[in-house]
Structure 1
Amino acid sequence: SESRDDVLYQLTESLTPESLYQIARVAYEELRRGGVRTVGEFHHVHHQPGGAPYDGRTDLADALINAARAEGLRITLVRVIHGRSAAGEQAAGPELRFTDASVDLALRDVDELWSRYADQPDVRIGVGAYRLSAVPPEWLSVIAEYAGRHRLPFHMPVAETQAEAEACVAETGKRPVELLADLGVLNERFIAVHASHLADQEARLLGEARAFVCLCPTAERNRGHGLPDISALRSAGVRLCIGVDSHVLTSPLEDLRAIELSERVRCGQRVVLTPAERTPAEELWHIGSQLTSEACGFDDGGGTVGLQRAAPELSLVLEDQLLDAIVFGASDRVFL
């Protein structure tokens, strides 16, 4: 039988700018129908099969931006940098479509995208690293300096699995967030994706930097990668945002409420999010709208969503309990 990665790599090999546009239209329509108005696209397929760049080096990125705009979404195109398969292993086969010959060439592509869309109010450009094992540590300082100079969001999966954290220690002698701190990566525009396997001091380092952690609960649940310690992250001052990641289930409300519900399971406690100035539902909505937009480089939450007030989940709900019913009990069909 074929593994998940085998199937994904086969699909990767088949992608063209035209087919990627059509696939993205479907994904973005599903997100829009689920109430999303801003998408952060972690984009890491850049080249032709075999690794040669397209004549238009950003053709695939442009296809994604065009697809989001066609669906009425704002987009942050996070141009992901990938330098190797793992520590000591060069990329080969389908991975060559991801892999950059040098960090300078990768950042030249970011420059091109940033220049092209700088005056477009519905587009932001960010930079990303595929994962710690896929980017040589010496590249990370260069990427961080570039992102800081241009004030771009910098997204990166961090400690998604225990094996990833252990591999970082084996290569560098440091845990993932400790390494990132030493390399000057952490700041208020850094977004650590997943962060499921952090030590206590790593949460503190992220909080001291006012960094974000992007939680992807349905993807993490599907892969069985473990639950992040959300209470520790919040206590450390880390800002939370939300992502879909795998699209196995595209349900923004399910991802949003899973922040609270998964932490209840982990802690064995009924209510976990207890902010001083908001209800739990208000806090989750703030995370999903305002904070997630900020993590994508936008200043506001991205507009409004309409409601099917007569939907069965909402038809008996009083107005002052409406947000609670939406966040904790509704499906995405309540959105217009």
Structure 2
Amino acid sequence: MALHEFKAAADSVVANIERVIEGKNAIVRLSLAVLLAEGHLLIEDVPGVGKTKLAKALARSIDCTVRRIQFTPDLLPSDVTGVSIYNQDTHDFEFKPGAVFANLVVGDEINRASPKTQSALLECMEERQVTVDGHSYQLQTPFMVIATQNPIEMEGTYPLPEAQRDRFTARVAIGYPDTTAELEMLNVHGGADPLDELGPVVDADVIRRMINTARHVHVSDAVKQYAVALVHATREAPDLRLGASPRSALQLLRTARAVAALEGREFVLPDDLQALAVPVLAHRLLPTSEAQLARRTTDAIVADLVHRLPVQRAGHGR
């Protein structure tokens, strides 16, 4: 796919989502970049700001299979992955796929499910497959998990384990809309929900071609070194007791490729890594008890590391 075709398709998806989500262009574009980087998205924010609506709008903008899972304390792992059922006609076990067998899986309030059920997503998010009763089943392409959770509503919730959080490529917070956007929301959403009228603007085949285009965006050695330096800085930061994993460096680079393509560029800049450092790295890190007492968030720690780390601007030469 040519870069101008890529940008035109991406802009149509973004414009479609913005019919529902007002005044959050950066968040919408990052969500699309995560999909094109073959990653997964965690939307973490207070209730009522449109987390589920963003996830649904992205899913409805693409003509592909979509499944929604409402995570509850009594949700079972087999509800997510599927189960083998004995078929009396064939006298054999037959696999019934679970909700995860779709291109886009919307997991609402993921932290309300038990750790056992949350762990059912680990294999499919990393390996794009599900293993049930010793048999592995491949998932469709593209495949993306978009999960939502409320950070301050702790009653009846289970915190996501580190292994689960590390599988999410990026974490975003939608935040409250500004006055103009909120007024427009009242005008548009006051009578009917525009999500009901939202239709697909691209299909799964176009997304697969866009993913392939994003994979081939050029990354210079200097930019790769800067990505590694960012990740290593988190491991040596005195305010952190758990730094970023090697997986995070890969996902940082993949997302940067997608972001560069979204902007119509054939190469990644250090600025792309700087802009993505907080959403891609911060949710994977664990602060020390001293940092927690000082109310230092991982977002602030990563932003400080980006500010202090020197950038070797050697251009984007091939």
> Does TM, normalized by the shorter one, top 0.5?
no
Q: TM-score, normalised by structure 1?
A: 0.31
Q: Which is bigger in relative contact order (C-alpha 8 A, separation at least 6)?
A: 2
Higher strand share: 2
